[in-house]
Copies of this chain bind each other. A is one copy, B any other.
Amino acid sequence: MVDCDVHQDWATDAEFTKYLPKHYWDRGVTTPGQPGWNNPVAESGISRNDSLPEDGGPAGSDRDLLGEHLFEDFGVNYAVLTGPGANNAFGWHPNLHYGTAGVEAYNDWLIEEWLDRDERFLGSLSVVPADPEHAVEEIERVGDHDQMVQVILPGSYENPYGHKRYWPIYEAAENAGLPIATHVSSSSRGTSWAPATGAGIPLSYIEKHAVVPMPLVGNLASVVLEGVFVEFPDLQWLFVEGRFTWLPDMMWQLDKNWKGLGNQVPWLERQPSEYIRENCWFSTQPVPEPENPEHLTQMLDMVHAEETLVYASDYPHWDNDNPKAMLNGVDEDVRRKIFGENAREIYGL
Contact = CB atoms under 8 A, between A and B. Distances in A.
Interface string A281-306: 00000101111000100110110000
Interface residues of A, number: 73
Interface string A195-217: 11111111111110111011111
12 contacts: A23-B266, A156-B198, A156-B200, A195-B198, A197-B198, A199-B216, A199-B218, A200-B218, A206-B225, A207-B225, A207-B226, A248-B299
A208 B204 CA distance: 27
B214 A202 contact: no
A261 B214 contact: no
Interface of A: 23, 41, 156-163, 186, 192-207, 209-211, 213-219, 221-222, 225-226, 243, 245-246, 248-250, 252-258, 260-266, 286, 288-291, 295, 298-299, 301-302, 318-319
A289 B23 contact: no
Contacts of A243: 249, 253
Contacts of A298: 295, 298, 302
Contacts of A199: 156, 160-161, 193, 214-219, 222
A250 B245 CA distance: 9
Contact of A202 (B160, B260, B266, B289): B160
B210 A253 contact: yes
Given A199-B215, A207-B222, A245 B249 contact: yes
Given A260-B319, A302-B290, A198 B207 contact: no
